[in-house]
Structure 1
């Protein structure tokens, strides 16, 4: 079984602005490869973090240095429609680029989403075949409307639909959004990244309080629309434990379903052959 991590960050300068991440000035691809080898992770998708302006270049270097181990989900400036639309037209020609990530938790991008100012972006993503993944707790209804209007758009929701490292809430208190997330399962072009799940738990490994929510999401979206991953730089456990939480501790996830969730499905969704 191939194991593909749907989200990691690498950076080379500056402390992460999100305090949930390791507060170190660099975490490079070479370090990631060593940890992945130890954990049995075959490949990973790098999401260049905003706190390091050189992070996209580092991700491209990683793709070139370790062929087959890395791919990239990048970003465009949603405040510059003309410039970003032009970039999106040739996005998949760039080294390692699979698609785009947007952050809609707060600020101007959240306002733009809710005010309907991003139709140009959704149109371009659908037209150019660019999958979009998003951190957007509290905006599921709006995103559901977007997905319904753009059936050719492949949209995924980050971090089991939660706020990731942007919340200190744990267990049930961190999962109050789940009923709203499950409503999106009716849309075949919406998927969920089950990334960063241990970070939501106040318990020790194997984080049993989170298993119920994983089962609910899996039952609703199915094995082709749920993607395992870690966001490893803010996990309270080892990379290997992030793997075995899914491969050894969820008896209902097995066989072909497990193979899909652990890597095959995200490769198909994001077009990473």
Structure 2
């Protein structure tokens, strides 16, 4: 199934609540929230309503530009009440390779943001370009599979990028579909020392069902010690309805394979706050609702893993 950004987001408004099968949910009356003000959201997009100063790619349809804006100030209004004070910004595809707005947000809010950029891995000046971006605070580069990452495995530019990632110490952050996990596995076999962060469980569950074979493949990637997974985009996976307890069995399998030190929570705002979804419901799933997570596990998933990778 070719899952685009549009279909991924549209899936957020469908579904009905269900409890997890075979995994206990923490008793909310007894739950005690950890101290506020320490957490890291490992995946957020921002963009400006000022399209003259920050023009979007001509490939972007006006109907795709929703909401009209999501500025750092709008983000802080969502995340600060939940105790999140640092954020990993992911370059928005609206801007393609023009990172001006993301870098401006970082300059305006020192210490609050780290960054993952988009990259044309076939550009002839790949190394100097990567070094320049790292100098501006980028800590990873995002790859879009566009439905088929098979060509990545043999592409010379991709090989150079993965080699540079080890040499210059940055992360490769693939946005992939379930059928692409096998190709990332092949690249991890070739470059086992490269840091990898898989976005949104590799979109397992976007169909409404948690597919067993892709989940097995995702868990098998854990044999590469430098591979990590974002437990994120709950609004778009499984039943797509808060409190997202139906995702707990998938989280448990990934947790058992990777351990909390290689998992990081993220909201995927602003899509996580599109009606009827809310920011607090996303972080609460990890922070409050899963009884097999210890307080130390939560420290890793809500802060320390993202901190070691991106800050």
Q: Of 238, 244, 267, which residue of structure 1 is paired with 2:284?
A: 244
In structure 2, the partner of 1:42 is: 85
Q: CA deviation at 1:157?
A: 0.7
In structure 2, the partner of 1:83 is: 125
Counterpart check, 1:148 vs 2:186? no
In structure 2, the partner of 1:93 is: 135
Q: Which segment drifts farther, 129-138 or 179-188? A: 129-138
Conserved in 1, the CA contact under 8 Å of 2:204 and 2:237?
no
Conserved in 1, the CA contact under 8 Å of 2:153 and 2:187?
no
Q: What is the distance in 2 between the residues matched to 1:162 and 1:105? A: 13
Which of 1 and 2 has greater Rg? 2
- Specify whether residues 242 and 55 from structure 1 end up closer, same or farther in structure 2 by C-alpha distance, changes over 3 A only: farther
In structure 1, the partner of 2:117 is: 74
Q: How many residues align?
A: 263
Q: TM-score, normalised by structure 2?
A: 0.76
Q: What is the distance in 1 between the residues matched to 2:161 and 2:170? A: 10
List gaps (5 residues or longer) in structure 1: none
Counterpart check, 1:162 vs 2:198? no
Say what the alpha-carbon RMSD is for the aligned residues: 2.6
Counterpart check, 1:192 vs 2:235? no
List gaps (5 residues or longer) in structure 2: 1-34
Q: TM-score, normalised by structure 1?
A: 0.86
Q: CA deviation at 1:131?
A: 0.9
Q: What is the distance in 1 between the residues matched to 2:265 and 2:164? A: 27
Higher relative contact order, structure no. (Cα contacts within 8 Å, ≥ 6 residues apart): 2
**Structure 1 residues 168-247: aligned runs within 5 Å:** 169-172=207-210, 177-202=214-239, 204-235=241-272, 236-247=276-287
Conserved in 1, the CA contact under 8 Å of 2:196 and 2:226?
yes
Q: What is the distance in 2 between the residues matched to 1:217 and 1:156? A: 13
- Specify whether residues 115 and 106 from structure 1 end up closer, same or farther in structure 2 by C-alpha distance, changes over 3 A only: farther
